[in-house]
Structure 1
Amino acid sequence: MSPSFLSCFRSFYYLLLILLFLSPSISAQELSDKLLHYELIHKNDFRHNAIPEKQEAPTDAVKLVQQVHFYALNRSFSLHLSPHQNLFSSSFKAVTMDTNGNHKTVPVSTRNFHIGHLIGDESSIVTVHINGENGLITAHISTDKETFYIEPALLHTGESHDSHMIVYRLSDVRSNGSISIDYETAPLQSRIYKESGRHKSHPLKKRQSRGSDRNTCTLALVVDYRFYTFLLSSENNVITTLVSRLFHIDENSFRPTHWIIDANGNSITNQGLQIGTILIHTGPTSDPSHYNSEESGQVEAQDLLRRFSRGDWSSYCLAHLFTHRQFSSGKLGLAYIASPGVGETGGICSQRVIDSFTNDIVIYNTGVSVASTGKRLLLPHESELVIAHEIGHSWGSPHDPGTDTNCRLKYLMNEFIQDNSEGTHQKFSPCSRISIGRVLANKATCFQGRSTSNCGNYMIDDGEECDGGRLTVDDQDSCCASNCKLRKGSNCSDVNHSCCKDCKVAPANSKICHYVGTISNDCTRQTYCNGSSYVCPPALQVTEGTDCL
């Protein structure tokens, strides 16, 4: 073997070693600046199991829940997950808008969002998105002792690691000083813009004392072209990132909180959020005064918020803008605050008004958040705190007063978000619960019943003819269409009915629909379809004296 060949071989060998050494430490320095410790996990390291859960008649359906298992951070994780049915409004839509103002609907598989718990720890809260196309997972796992995060690595490191995720503990996040966030008060000089009103008054104190079916604030989430570009110009990245943030905020900060609605200490709970629309700007808007304009340089947060408030967001409880702009003040969020006065505008359920100074038609149910700082995306817990804080203002809470001993801990509405040493960052203080409770009692006029998006949950619900779960949602079910209606020529669904075969009633004795020792695990005989119904006939008992369980 020639010396030149050996030399080339050694060079190639050392180069290969260097590449192998570098590849698992993607942008290690950048991530290490944010995290004391994190681990990379490949999508193939997750094990997914579909577990049948027998449903009640008459649907004769079997619901499949997911169990996801993986190992990271020196421990095993086993997640028990079901589709989240309350995350989106019944009329939810996601659309893009290009530079010319053209709209395009973006299909969103709402079935991919799950909620559940750790197996063996039912007090834990797990919120998960499983990407049906690339298998990547975005997750929050909250236990009494720790919170764990999983995010696609490509959001922080680029496309080179599009099969990996980073997993880390909240306690491993480095404290890099405080985050500044603020609120605005709507101008008192504004007057109501006369139009057909969308809000009918149903004050909370008259319609409820402890709870209400009108318990949900519907949001419009708006993304400027800068943030869209920053997230690799991917609608999927944008939607997954924002929805996962709101998902966690609703389940951990808003729904569990008891809001004090009167001087007697009466409270309500289960008040929260759902998403009505997501608008993604894929290019800049030509109008230089628009919130999505292409102007260079930094802008004041107040100016951007006022521009955003010129839009017509009157169909929503709140509208929130996500941007990759850098504010000259260094703030990461700003929103108009709600007040308990019925005639005062600002925050939840605001009506459109005419600004007395500019004569612009505006609406003050708006807020804005910076979703990144410099060249990096905010970590999930940072972004969630900013968004939840600004929505807290929109619901009526000012910053926690430093003079009140009951509210001195670093709660969610502290003026500055710093470290999480006291474990109260995601919680509203007693002061906030009183302030927001007063607003909810008087001004939650646009709150709606929490919608249930049932299509895609494997069960035939009211108004549905079939439901094949993910196959239905992705429009890949030969029997059932994506609207949970039977396709033309189909009489039943193979997924939903045990005596359905190729979308027709199974011929007599052609299919076993009840196996001995499965699901029911009782003393019954094996049963065949009878050819006249897509529902399995009642199973007969075994002969008396036969051994059975």
Structure 2
Amino acid sequence: CQVRCPCYLFLCSFISIMLYDTVIVNFLILCIPCIHAGVQLNNYVRHYEPLSYDAKKVHENHIRAKRDVYGDESLHIDFTSHGRAFRLRLKRDTSHFSPDLVVDGPESVQEDIDLSHIYSGKLWGDDESHVFGAVQNGVFDGKIVSASGNFFVEKAKKYFPLNSNNFFHSVIYSEDDVIDPFEDRRKGYHAGCGVTDKIFQEMDRLQRSAVDSPSYYREHAHNDIDNYDESAEDNWDSKGWEKYLPLNHSRGRDKRSFPDFLSKNPKTTCTLYIRTDPLFWARFYKSNHEDVTATRDEIIVLISQHVAALNNIYQNTKFDGKYPHRMMRFEVQRIKIDDDRACKPGWTNKPNEFCRPNIDVSNFLNLQSQEDHESFCLAYLFTYRDFTGGTLGLAWVASPTSAGGICEKYKEYTDRGSTSQKVKRSLNTGIITFVNYNSPVPPKVSHLTLAHEIGHNFGSPHDYPSHCTPGSRDGNYIMFASATSGDKPNNSKFSSCSISNISQVLDAITEKKKYDCFTRNAGAFCGNKIVETGEECDCGYDYKDCTEKCCYPRALAADRRPPPGAEMCKRPPSAQCSPSEGICCASSCTFVSAYEKLKCAEETECALESYCDGTSSTCPKPRPRKDKTKCNGGTQICLNGECSGSYCLIFNMERCFLSSDNVLDKVKLCELACQEPGNSSSCRSTKEMSHLMSIDGPIMLQPGSPCDNYQGYCDVFQKCRAVDAEGPLLRLKNLLFNHKNLTTLKEWVTRYWWAVMLIGVAVIIVMGLFIKCCAVHTPSSNPKAPPHIKIQDTLHHPITTLRRMSHRNRHPHAQQHQHRRSQHAGRYDPQGGHGPPRGYGEGRGQYRRPKGPRGQPAPSRSSGIWPAPDMIDGAYPSGPNVMEMRHQKL
């Protein structure tokens, strides 16, 4: 027993016995957190602790925070682990997503998404801390950053998919306990570019063939292969970067010459397009028990956590060059989630190229780069593929003088393969994988991998020279060639070499030498099919989404030959309107005439129907009905064409609620009540005021209406039901498995472990006696076993039963001989004598026979033949405990 825990000591002492005792097994459940402590989680995490808190209470608080219109409601989560108390104070945070986020499902079908479960905040009492993550079903999943250490909290089902118990729902581990389990496989390789000579040459040729390539065009692609090829070392010019990215170049900068517009109107947001492939879907779909909604939500949460980690790194780094580049941040503007249906046999629609199982990392990036991504700053693909050589990611590297990296356009290149054909590529792309050597990659490693690859997109090669790869105690920086475990201080920082290289690319963008795609923190997004400020129309992202001819989509395809001057989300000069603007615009790009009598708004309780009038693409506002017209089942009245006023306003009164504190009848709680303005004590049901309102009986609230001062709702039977009402089984569950009660019981067990041991031994003894006593009453199919005793006999003659039990235990062979004798008794009587009755045996009948010599039964005095003495010799040995049986002559 290496774990110092009374529960574990008890387990070691009584494991062989407890397997037969349900009570003790249930007790062991309380010891699970203690037993799990100090156990390795997987190959990457060497130590973790199970975590359990009241998830139901957290979920209730989350629902309350979700209903807060302004998002100011704070969510509190408190727990203890690693010898310290964690008090999380969280608020809803969707800043990592664009306000006009578009989420596409399979086949580019837009999905509705809920981001209310994403949070960020701090630890109570630690203003320098930072917490980000998500809360789903009352369980927090995210990262805690503090001066005393960084911690990751994850759902237990991720690592224990077959765990059917719910005794702990989360695991927590320190960042310091994340290790690199595959370091031995990488020994003997140099920290240089991991791309092979063949891959480097192919990519270099492709990049040099760009249409607008300058005379000196050198572009490098990066492959994060942890297992390097020594043969590529001699072909790699480690100082080649210095030819166009000198680390100690003279910038000639003057801090006082910073342009004013950089501080007044900063554009520091890099928009992201994140796509997940079918293998990524299959991984999470299985762990979520094939629940489509839960899988999609978990993928959104994972993307949010990675972008939050990116912002935590990049926003805290100053990439100052000729100009200051600070607070660089990322914002997800579009997400595409592919499922794996297209990868299964029988799929007849358009095939998905990402379903190919055996594809190397360079071709995988090539697939990602074939699509047009110029509308975004960067486009990344998340996958769950175990690439050879320990590959974690692949990305194009930017430079100040050539194409590739951030903000790159969709250009034409010459693929000098077997055909030397023209191809179009987006080199603002990258990919990362979440599995390495058949082991799931922990969040810390995947966060740094994404930061590393985007660092290449921003213009940083691998760290060089040696002063940027210090290693030792503080570790290497983000742009180190090989993957890091993230447990060293430098692992989450950029080196001075990387900052210098990145700053030159950002300087080139500022000076308009490269395309500037950075945006401000908020703004309209063309392509979401919502007409916003600055847009004339919005028919979709590309021509696949745009099904009309009256509006230009966001992505203008060259093969469609758009006319000169065509702008995204703008109408052609000949178009009067676009159907994306409203229902009163025809497909012919003209307003619907009033003569067509096209109804665009149905009649309601408070407004008349409305028809297109031929003057606008939007539907004219319907004419309202007369104010104070009854609506909503007579419980409300119309005001300005909307059913928004209370029926009480007709009598110059206010609406109020009957409370369960004063009214016990649940039906009565669903009666409409009114009160005098500002006087809550005058609140009465409409039934009590029926004579004043000239109504028959009370006015009942509609099903679904709030009641009992918003503490419940009215059901279809017009009874007020409490919100989240608990049934009897749920109340029993909360009583038995209440977190507070379990915590108290756990503390008592830990303190009085010796008493628990005594109780366990006593329970085992009692259970053993109980089983022993019940054994004699259990029928057996074994013909050699003695017949069972009836429970009625035991209840009437308990002492006799105990004697018989004692006799059975001491003389087991006697039972068999006597059982055979009882059979012979009714079989051997050729002279017709009267022997013992059939069925005579121990525990049956009331006949007793006098003992003969040596304690043997005397022969019968009847004329019948009695079995010879040697047949039963030894069946009843002499002694004081031998039961006397007397044979009575009939």
The partner residue of 1:279 within 336, 343, 348 is 336
The partner residue of 2:209 within 189, 194, 197 is 189
Deviation at 1:79, TM superposition (A): 1.6
Query: Is 1:69 aligned to residue 78 of structure 2?
Result: yes
Alignment-derived partner of residue 269 in structure 1: 326
Deviation at 1:214, TM superposition (A): 1.1
Query: Residue by residue, what CA displacement relative to the aligned partner does 1:498-544 show, whole Å, maximum 9, x if unpaired?
Result: x9989xx99731569xxxxxxxxxxxxxxxxxxxxxxxxxxxxxxxx
Query: Is 1:259 aligned to residue 319 of structure 2?
Result: yes
Deviation at 1:364, TM superposition (A): 0.5
Equivalents in 2 of 1:108, 1:8: separation in Å?
A: 52
Equivalents in 1 of 2:104, 2:366: separation in Å?
A: 23
Identity of aligned residues (%): 22
Amino acid at match of 1:429: S
Query: Is 1:370 aligned to residue 428 of structure 2?
Result: no
Matches for 1:406-485 after TM superposition, within 5 Å? 410-420=476-486, 422-443=488-509, 445-451=516-522
SS at match of 2:478: coil
Alignment-derived partner of residue 279 in structure 2: 226
Equivalents in 1 of 2:316, 2:675: separation in Å?
A: 47
Alignment-derived partner of residue 581 in structure 2: none
Cα 1:65/1:14, change in 2 over 3 Å: closer
- Normalised to the residue count of structure 2, the TM-score between the two structures is 0.44
SS at match of 1:509: coil
Alignment-derived partner of residue 388 in structure 1: 451
162-171 or 311-320, which deviates more: 162-171
Q: Is the 8 A contact 1:156 1:376 kept in 2?
A: no
85-94 or 347-356, which deviates more: 85-94
Amino acid at match of 1:42: S
Q: Is the 8 A contact 1:153 1:161 kept in 2?
A: no
Q: Is the 8 A contact 2:386 2:438 kept in 1?
A: no
Query: Is 1:34 aligned to residue 37 of structure 2?
Result: no
Cα 1:158/1:405, change in 2 over 3 Å: closer
Alignment-derived partner of residue 147 in structure 2: 144
Equivalents in 2 of 1:432, 1:360: separation in Å?
A: 32
Deviation at 1:23, TM superposition (A): 7.0
Cα 1:171/1:27, change in 2 over 3 Å: closer
* Number of residue pairs matched by the alignment: 436
Matches for 1:104-143 after TM superposition, within 5 Å? 104-131=109-136, 134-143=137-146
Query: Is 1:173 aligned to residue 178 of structure 2?
Result: yes
Q: Is the 8 A contact 2:118 2:301 kept in 1?
A: no
Deviation at 1:96, TM superposition (A): 1.6
Alignment-derived partner of residue 471 in structure 1: none
SS at match of 2:105: strand
Query: Is 1:214 aligned to residue 267 of structure 2?
Result: yes
170-179 or 395-404, which deviates more: 170-179
Alignment-derived partner of residue 244 in structure 1: 305
SS at match of 1:356: strand
The partner residue of 1:352 within 377, 402, 410 is 410
SS at match of 2:407: coil
Deviation at 1:411, TM superposition (A): 0.7
Cα 1:208/1:400, change in 2 over 3 Å: farther
The partner residue of 1:293 within 334, 351, 354 is 354
Amino acid at match of 1:423: P
Equivalents in 1 of 2:301, 2:441: separation in Å?
A: 15
Deviation at 1:370, TM superposition (A): 0.8
SS at match of 2:208: coil
Equivalents in 2 of 1:255, 1:45: separation in Å?
A: 33
Cα 1:255/1:29, change in 2 over 3 Å: same
Aligned-pair Cα RMSD in Å: 4.1
Cα 1:46/1:188, change in 2 over 3 Å: farther
Deviation at 1:37, TM superposition (A): 1.7
Q: Is the 8 A contact 1:218 1:276 kept in 2?
A: yes
Amino acid at match of 2:171: I
The partner residue of 2:158 within 131, 142, 155 is 155
Cα 1:211/1:390, change in 2 over 3 Å: farther
Amino acid at match of 2:100: S
Deviation at 1:402, TM superposition (A): 3.1
Equivalents in 2 of 1:489, 1:421: separation in Å?
A: 60
Alignment-derived partner of residue 104 in structure 2: 95
SS at match of 1:157: coil
Deviation at 1:288, TM superposition (A): 13
SS at match of 2:309: helix
Cα 1:372/1:430, change in 2 over 3 Å: same
Alignment-derived partner of residue 468 in structure 1: none
SS at match of 1:78: strand
Query: Is 1:303 aligned to residue 472 of structure 2?
Result: no
Q: Is the 8 A contact 2:38 2:47 kept in 1?
A: no
Equivalents in 1 of 2:370, 2:380: separation in Å?
A: 13
Amino acid at match of 2:443: P
Deviation at 1:258, TM superposition (A): 0.3
Structure whose residues are more often helix by fraction: 2
Structure whose residues are more often strand by fraction: 1
Q: Which runs of 5+ in 2 are unaligned?
A: 1-15, 63-67, 196-202, 214-256, 287-294, 416-420, 510-514, 525-532, 534-640, 647-653, 658-673, 682-890
Q: Is the 8 A contact 1:319 1:367 kept in 2?
A: yes
Q: Is the 8 A contact 1:337 1:396 kept in 2?
A: yes
SS at match of 1:345: coil
Query: Is 1:329 aligned to residue 498 of structure 2?
Result: no
Q: Which runs of 5+ in 1 are unaligned?
A: 1-6, 52-58, 194-203, 454-461, 463-486, 493-498, 513-549
Equivalents in 1 of 2:398, 2:491: separation in Å?
A: 21
Amino acid at match of 1:330: G
Amino acid at match of 2:454: I
Deviation at 1:81, TM superposition (A): 1.8
Equivalents in 2 of 1:500, 1:397: separation in Å?
A: 65
- Normalised to the residue count of structure 1, the TM-score between the two structures is 0.69
Larger Rg: 2
